[in-house]
Amino acid sequence: MRQSKLFTKTSKETPKDEVSTNAQLLIRAGFVDKLMAGVYSYLPLGLRVLTKIQNIVREEMNNIGGQEILMPALHPKDLYDKTGRWDKIDVLFKMEGVGDKIYALGSTHEEVVTPLVQKFVKSHKDLPLSVYQIQDKFRNEPRAKSGLLRGREFNMKDMYSFHKDEADFLDYYEKSKVAYLNIFKRCGLDAIIAEADGGSFTDKLTHEFQVFTENGEDIIFSCNNCHTHRNAEIVKDKQCETCGGDLEKNKAIEVGNIFPLESRFSDSFKFTYLNKEGKAQPILMGCYGIGPSRVMGAVVEINHDDNGIIWPESIAPYSVHLISLCSESGDIKKADELYDSLTSQGVEVLYDDRVEVRAGQKFADSDLIGIPQRLVISPKTLVGDSIEVRDRETGEETIVKIKDYVQ
């Protein structure tokens, strides 16, 4: 992408109405635009990051047999009457439609996915099964001041699994933990698993994936002895519940969670399966959430410096930021050729070909946008048919012959 064509521009001003680091940096760098509290538009650079995160999530869900579907955001009230959650989910957006219709906007999809899967699953032969979607959720959050970390509208991957017994459920639940840890690792996040409360989903303990950072909204207690992590909301003692060890208190961002739902929702819909003896048995469910938009926010909270964002290669909007400081037509031609050869090799390049912007501004923009590798091509480097290669994270700079870089 030629930066001269990119319609967004960076800004030096920190947006006055944003207190979170992720929103401040993402807005200043032109990744997102704030429509109102907790509601953001994804601009070209931001959408590229979001899509890359979604694709990592998709691959890992497919790897554990998840089948991708897409359910609606508009939900009819009668499904919530069956589960008793119409008044229990406090963040549910509710709305009237034509006639006497009453809708909710999906904040989660148990009420939709359970009767949907029920239409197809009759026998033990149809189990186990897991389906997932990557879709936008709506939550009428009282406070939405954390940028992409807590949205009123936000992107979510929600998977639901269906099992014939506890052993089969637990087997899949453990597989999902591995898949989740893979996802966060691939997105450059060092996540740990913490026990937590089940909210309106389950009376059982659930598991959260948490990333430690001073900017986190959650408090996690970690045992120095047995290394169990627990969300503060379930920690009653000053010692570890498991081993009696000392607890350490740290702030963290929740980037995913998984819930054993048991037969909480299948019971509401009288959803059973026939076992080998032809007898109806309860279906056990699990639910597994990751917010790709929240992951994007968390990565920015954790990976930045005073100059801007530092994207991990895997989810960076582009791999290479090629900056041309050329003004003579011969030199510009060489910069264009370098851009063309890299893109034709499949390298994702943001090419700062802007002619009226001075070098200092280009470097500042590049640090703010945070693409992992910066290449500078200038009359000075071209003397040696070279470019300057700089690593955004380490700041390490090397001079490399163009022919060696391009191969």
The binding site for a second copy (CB under 8 A) comprises 5-9, 30, 33, 35-36, 39-44, 47, 50, 65, 67-76, 93-95, 97-98, 103, 105, 112, 116-117, 119-121, 126, 129, 131, 136, 138, 140-142, 152-153
Residue 50 CB, nearest approach to a second copy (Å): 7
**Distance, CA of 153 to CA of 136 (rounded, Å):** 7
Task: Specify the DSSP element, H or E, that contains 141.
Answer: none
* Residue located via tokens 């009653």: 236
Residue type, 262: E
Query: Which of 105, 325 has the CB closer to a second copy?
Result: 105
Query: Which of 46, 216 has the CB closer to a second copy?
Result: 46
User: 292-302 and 44-63 are packed helices; what angle lies between their axes, rounded to 10 degrees?
Assistant: 110
Residue 347 CB, nearest approach to a second copy (Å): 18
Query: Which of 95, 399 has the CB closer to a second copy?
Result: 95
Residue 374 CB, nearest approach to a second copy (Å): 22
Residue 400 CB, nearest approach to a second copy (Å): 31
Residue 237 CB, nearest approach to a second copy (Å): 35
Residue 317 CB, nearest approach to a second copy (Å): 12
Helical ranges in 208-279 per DSSP H? 264-268
* Residue located via tokens 């003579």: 328
Of 68, 60, 290, 286, whose CA–CA distance to 167 is shortest?
286
Residue 32 CB, nearest approach to a second copy (Å): 10
* R_g of the chain, CA atoms, integer Å: 25
Residue 74 CB, nearest approach to a second copy (Å): 5
Query: Which of 207, 321 has the CB closer to a second copy?
Result: 321
**Distance, CA of 6 to CA of 177 (rounded, Å):** 39
**Distance, CA of 378 to CA of 347 (rounded, Å):** 20
Of 189, 241, 197, whose CA–CA distance to 219 is shortest?
197
Query: Which of 217, 241 has the CB closer to a second copy?
Result: 217
Query: Which of 117, 387 has the CB closer to a second copy?
Result: 117
* Residue located via tokens 């953001």: 40
**Distance, CA of 290 to CA of 312 (rounded, Å):** 18
Are 188 and 303 in contact, with CB atoms under 8 Å apart? yes
Q: Angle at Cα 249 formed by Cα 244 and Cα 205, nearest 5°?
A: 65
Are 158 and 109 in contact, with CB atoms under 8 Å apart? yes
Query: Which of 5, 88 has the CB closer to a second copy?
Result: 5
Are 285 and 265 in contact, with CB atoms under 8 Å apart? yes
Query: Which of 32, 377 has the CB closer to a second copy?
Result: 32
